[in-house]
Amino acid sequence: MGKDKLRRFAEIATFGNVLQLDAGKVMKGQWAAKQFGNDHPVVLELACGKGEYTVNMAKRHPDKNFIGIDYKGNRIWRGAKTALEERIPNVAFLRIQIETILDYFADGEVSEIWITFPDPQPQVSREKKRLTAPRFLEKYKQLLTAGGCMHLKTDNDGLYAYTLEKLAELDLAPQAQTTDLYRSDLVDELLEIKTYYEKKYLAVDKNINYLKWRW
């Protein structure tokens, strides 16, 4: 591991807005009250990377609590540091494997889940690792409040098509869907947020797919 990564790992251990592994389990069922000191809705971004989307959603919605989840601490460092420097109180980051998410949140504790530009895991042998695979969808259903919603934003056409197939198998009809977000009428204050990599995709005219659904 390079010196920068080691430094960032050491630094996030001192951040009040980052919880790592077992330290996050004590928040289960009490994230709003214990971490944020309020009773606002809890919104998750899965595989948040550097946390750009999490931080920007929090800026736009101070009435909600946002938690970015990723396993790579050197990436989380960037979003967490920005939130501290800009004094954004409704942001936190959780460093865990998403497979274990039920250990960290109680049933019905989450109002929304965002999956923004995840690794599409295109190989058939890695289907179970796709964040919209059935085993993950069942976990999300358990975490969400009644009527809680899911969002998928991806440049990968294959993952978009795969997710539609899995929703159909569950008899779930998308509330919103498009294969070309920025040429649709769906863009709002949250969907207009663009990460570094998304800007690169758009620069070469890559279409962006979007899905929204509820249970």
Is 119 noted as a catalytic residue in this protein?
yes
The CATH number given to whatever domain includes residue 160 is 3.40.50.150
Q: Which two tokens stand for residue 62?
A: 């101070």
Question: Could you read off the pLDDT of 190-208 as tens digits, one per residue?
Answer: 999 998 889 999 999 999 9
Provide the domain limits for residue 74. 1-106
Q: How many domains does the chain have?
A: 2
Main-chain phi, psi angles of 195, to 5 degrees: -80, 170
The single residue of 119, 157, 185, 188 carrying the catalytic annotation is 119
Say whether both 16 and 87 belong to one domain.
yes
Q: 118 near 47, Cβ under 8 Å?
A: yes
Note whether residue 140 is domain-resident.
Answer: no
Residue 3, pLDDT score: 77
Q: Which two tokens stand for residue 199?
A: 């800007």
Say whether both 119 and 81 belong to one domain.
no
Say whether both 6 and 98 belong to one domain.
yes
Say whether both 96 and 122 belong to one domain.
no
Q: Is the pLDDT of residue 41 over 90?
A: yes
pTM of the model: 0.96
Spatial distance between the Cα atoms of 93 and 70, rounded to a whole number of angstroms = 8
Question: Could you read off the pLDDT of 94-113 as tens digits, one per residue?
Answer: 999 999 999 999 999 999 99
> Which residues sit opposite 69 in a β-bridge?
46, 94
Q: Which two tokens stand for residue 177?
A: 């869907």
Mean local confidence (pLDDT), 7-36: 94
Mean local confidence (pLDDT), 137-163: 97
Q: In what order do the strands lie in the sheet with 144-154?
A: 18-20, 91-95, 65-70, 42-46, 110-116, 144-154, 209-214, 176-178
Burial 17-34 (b: 16+ CB within 10 A, else e): bbbbeeebeebeeebbee
